[in-house]
């Protein structure tokens, strides 16, 4: 039997599947949806096998962040545990797969798909910097990561040869969606714990999301249907934040529905 002392020291063995899961599997349940949404949106607008590879690479990058984060945290704290070794090995394998997928996309995709990824790179570095210091749950890194991953939608569209304006508009859609969702969810979770909170940041986020999507429509990069859906979601979330909060699992399911609605409205309007 694996002892509590061994678990506390970071020891991992075959008899500790829970510990292995903690090293390899992301605990951010909402992160799965926020990572999949830009990939799905990009593929709905511009399907291609290189685009599919980019979408799969995004999901692998999300999964690889968990072991990579553990390695960064342990190195920041100047320690190397059994879990660090396990995390490093898992991350290495996942990063090799990620690199292979990106290499395939580079060979088979239309040129220029890498530009959104390069633009988003500083956001990922910022997020990992917070992760390294065990501060990844703060607002700034969460926004940086969710907005940054939206670049995948643009990259997938460009990989299929879609117009640049449309591709960058897809990123704007995901950014608006993230801007509205993350402050709202954070505030609702705080409210479920009966902790002090303020509502105006959430209201500001909803207004910012609507403004961003509206600007996208004015420059012909975002369809009007997206602006309408983002606006309706903003109103509903501004109302919901003033009502008794739902359980965390319900909040998560609601956000999944919101994500599907934004993606569907955008994809259908652009079809």
**H or E segment and range at residue 103:** helix 82-108
- Model-level pTM? 0.90
CA dist 118 and 126 (Å) reads 14
What does the block give as tokens for 32?
């799965």
- Tens place of pLDDT per residue across the chain (271 aa): 344 444 444 555 544 556 677 788 887 777 889 999 999 999 999 999 999 999 999 999 999 999 999 999 999 999 999 989 999 999 999 999 999 999 999 999 998 999 999 999 999 999 999 999 999 889 999 999 999 999 999 999 999 999 999 999 999 999 999 999 999 999 999 999 988 889 999 999 999 999 999 999 999 999 999 999 999 999 999 999 999 999 989 999 999 999 999 999 999 999 8
What does the block give as tokens for 139?
């607002």
One-character DSSP codes across 212-268: HHHHHHHTTSS-HHHHHHHHHHHHHHHHHTTSPPPPHHHHHHHHHHHHHHHHHHHHH
Whether the CA torsion 44, 46, 48, 50 is positive or negative: it is negative
The residues spanned by each domain of the chain are: 18-162, 163-271
Q: Which of 212, 192, 219, 206 is nearest to 258 (CA)?
A: 206
């Amino acid at each position: 039997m694996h002892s509590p002392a061994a678990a506390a020291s970071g020891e991992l063995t075959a008899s500790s599947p829970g510990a292995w899961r903690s090293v390899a599997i992301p605990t951010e349940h909402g992160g799965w949806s926020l990572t999949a949404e830009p990939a799905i949106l990009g593929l709905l607008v511009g399907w291609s096998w290189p685009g599919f590879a980019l979408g799969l690479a995004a999901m692998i990058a999300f999964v690889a962040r968990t072991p990579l984060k553990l390695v960064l945290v342990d190195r920041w704290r100047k320690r190397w545990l059994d879990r660090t070794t396990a995390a490093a090995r898992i991350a290495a394998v996942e990063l090799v797969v990620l690199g292979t997928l990106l290499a395939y996309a580079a060979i088979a995709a239309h040129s220029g798909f890498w530009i959104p990824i390069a633009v988003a790179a500083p956001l990922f570095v910022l997020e990992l910097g917070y992760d390294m210091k065990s501060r990844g749950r703060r607002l700034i890194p969460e926004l940086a990561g969710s907005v940054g991953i939206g670049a995948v939608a643009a990259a997938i569209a460009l990989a299929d040869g879609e117009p640049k304006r449309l591709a960058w508009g897809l990123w704007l859609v995901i950014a608006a969606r993230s801007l509205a969702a993350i402050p709202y969810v954070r505030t609702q979770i705080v409210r479920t714990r009966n902790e002090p909170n303020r509502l105006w940041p959430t209201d500001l986020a909803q207004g910012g999301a609507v403004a961003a999507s509206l600007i996208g429509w004015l420059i012909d990069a975002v369809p009007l249907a997206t602006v309408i859906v983002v606006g309706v979601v903003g109103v509903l979330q501004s109302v919901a934040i003033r009502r008794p909060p739902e359980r965390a699992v319900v909040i998560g399911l609601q956000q999944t529905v919101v994500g599907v609605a934004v993606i569907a409205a955008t994809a259908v309007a652009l079809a």
